[in-house]
Amino acid sequence: MPAQAYDETNIFARILRGDLPCTKVLETDAVLAFMDIMPRADGHVLVIPKAPARTLLDIDPGSLATLIVEVQRIARAVKQALVADGVTIWQFNEPAGGQEVPHLHFHVLPRWNNVELRPRTGATDKPEVLIALAEKIAGALATGG
């Protein structure tokens, strides 16, 4: 079955075009990392390719290689900045696989011993909270996180 066409109107495509705001953690030529607006943990970051890929299955391998290296860099920085005990990485493909936004993304979730992820309520965090966390993580990135 041919891959479904990329939807240029999806939320992350609009963020990449600058049509919607985000709380940026890192931007390179190929990758954007920003705070999840409905975080399941303090410091929940999304890492996306700038290439218009729908899922992990259809991104070209070179872009995926660049992306996963940035996911590692963000995960290290999140862990250091927020003094986490561990990190959970999520990545979902297609609605059947749990994907809601049809632009490839990795979730980076800092974890602390005996602390559960927050339930999914649809509640958004306040911009100032997200900005403070993003600044901490960006600070760790700047020092090699």
Contact 141, 127 (CB under 8 A): no
Binding range to ligand AMP, per CB under 6 A, among 34-42, 48-56, 65-73, 134-142: 34-42
Contact 136, 81 (CB under 8 A): yes
Q: Sketch the per residue contact string, 77 through 116, with ligand AMP: x for CB under 6 A, - otherwise.
A: ---------------x-----xxxx---x-----------
Burial class (CB in 10 A: 0-12, 13-18, 19+), 2: exposed
Which strand (E) or helix (H) includes residue 47? Answer: strand 45-49
CB-wise, 11 or 68, nearer to ligand AMP?
11
Catalytic (active-site) positions: 105
Contacts with ligand AMP, residue ranges (CB under 6 A):
11, 20, 22, 36-38, 46, 92, 98-101, 105
